[in-house]
């Protein structure tokens, strides 16, 4: 419990720092959007580029683990989108909801948590899970959002417009360009490596501070969809690890260490990626921020219970 708290508490402190800075008027009302744009256009692309460029083929080639974790993400994402579209709900909002339920906070919590709970041998599969989360499901959600926001009915023109938007999206372009390095065995020059690590290191704290700024902003009272928040959090903290466990043990027959790593990563709370997309595209960031906060708080209990169970 203490090791989990030592990882989660700093995240709350960063969110609180953003909240306090806005309440004290240290940062103005436009800070949320501008800080979020910094993360989306500079810091997060640098982090993704750095992760992919340093990935070794032998680290990434874990097909059983990737299938178990990736299919667990896909099942929860598709199920959430399908349920939300029945309301009915706009495709862009349903895609963000699906991301809320399937986007594990692998980058911010996953790496330090598996290092403490399992050991260094779990870092390589955690990298695979990180790539699936921040590149795979993120890319699918962005495609769905772009399709939902386009008003063009002609399929050919729609494909051209969506493709153009995706080709300019730094969150997709960065990892795609970085794939050249592991594929061809290239090594990043020292200055470039330092640049990426400095800029990419700002992604996590800036995203969390931006979330705190958003929560502190004064807005007109709106009816909160508490049932939606509860359902999405339940799918994230309970549904995704349960599905991943079934896939890892009964379908792919993974060894215990890989199964343990896959389930632990699937049980992580919702990361800040969905919030950044909701804020960037001007969708319902209020619901997303609630999911991020509630899932992070409750994950202290659920993750600790899981660790106690497998121990």
For 224, phi and psi rounded to 5 degrees? Answer: -80, 140
Distance CA 9, CA 114 (A): 16
Distance CA 236, CA 222 (A): 24
For 49, phi and psi rounded to 5 degrees? Answer: -60, -45
Listed by start position, the domains of the chain span: 2-218+227-310
Mean pLDDT value across residues 3-15: 73
Nearest to 111 by CA among 234, 224, 265, 227: 265
Instruction: Report the mean per-residue pLDDT for the chain.
Output: 84
Domain formed by 2-218+227-310, architecture:
Up-down Bundle (1.20)
| pLDDT 10s digits, 271-295 | 878 887 887 788 877 888 889 888 9
Distance CA 288, CA 295 (A): 11
Beta strands in 139-277 (DSSP E): none
- The answer on pLDDT for 6 being more than 90 is no
Q: Please give the model's pTM, rounded to 2 decimal places.
A: 0.77
- The answer on pLDDT for 26 being more than 80 is yes
- The answer on pLDDT for 153 being more than 60 is no
- The answer on pLDDT for 143 being more than 80 is yes
The Cα diameter of the chain in Å comes to 56
- Provide the pLDDT confidence category of residue 198 given band limits of 50, 70 and 90: very high
Q: String of b and e for 190-203 (b: at least 16 CB within 10 Å)?
A: eeeeeebeebbebb
For 153, phi and psi rounded to 5 degrees? Answer: -90, -25
Retrieve residue 242's tokens.
């349960």
Beta strands in 218-266 (DSSP E): none
- Provide the pLDDT confidence category of residue 166 given band limits of 50, 70 and 90: low
Which contiguous run of DSSP H or E holds residue 306?
helix 285-310
Retrieve residue 42's tokens.
């500079």
Nearest to 84 by CA among 231, 224, 268, 283: 231
Retrieve residue 6's tokens.
């030592």
Beta bridge partners of residue 104, listed in sequence order:
270
Q: Is 226 left (phi over 0), alpha (psi -120 to 50) or beta?
A: alpha
């Amino acid at each position: 419990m203490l090791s989990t708290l030592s990882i989660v508490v700093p995240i709350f402190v960063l969110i609180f720092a953003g909240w306090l800075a806005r309440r004290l008027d240290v940062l103005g009302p436009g800070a949320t959007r501008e800080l979020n744009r910094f993360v989306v256009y500079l810091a997060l692309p640098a982090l993704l580029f750095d992760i992919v460029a340093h990935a070794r083929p032998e680290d990434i080639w874990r097909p059983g683990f990737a299938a178990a974790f990736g299919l667990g993400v896909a099942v929860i994402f598709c199920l959430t989108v399908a349920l939300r579209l029945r309301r009915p709900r706009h495709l862009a909002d349903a895609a963000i909801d699906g991301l809320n339920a399937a986007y594990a906070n692998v980058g911010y919590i996953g790496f330090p948590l598996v290092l403490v709970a399992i050991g260094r041998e779990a870092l390589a599969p955690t990298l695979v899970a990180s790539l699936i989360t921040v590149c795979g499901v993120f890319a699918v959600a962005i495609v769905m959002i772009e399709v939902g926001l386009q008003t063009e009915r002609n399929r050919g023109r729609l494909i051209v417009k969506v493709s153009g938007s995706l080709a300019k999206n730094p969150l997709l372009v960065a990892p795609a360009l970085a794939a050249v390095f592991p594929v061809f065995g290239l090594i990043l020059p020292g200055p470039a490596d330092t640049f990426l690590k400095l800029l990419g290191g700002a992604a996590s704290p800036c995203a969390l501070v931006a979330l705190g700024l958003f929560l502190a902003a004064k807005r007109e009272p709106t009816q909160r969809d508490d049932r939606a928040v509860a359902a999405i959090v339940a799918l994230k903290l309970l549904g995704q690890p349960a599905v991943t466990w079934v896939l890892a043990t009964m379908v792919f027959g993974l060894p215990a260490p890989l199964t343990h790593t896959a389930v632990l990563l699937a049980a992580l709370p919702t990361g800040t990626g969905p919030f950044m997309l909701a804020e960037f595209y001007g969708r319902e960031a209020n619901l997303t921020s609630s999911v991020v906060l509630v899932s992070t708080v409750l994950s202290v209990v659920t993750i600790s219970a899981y660790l106690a169970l497998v121990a």
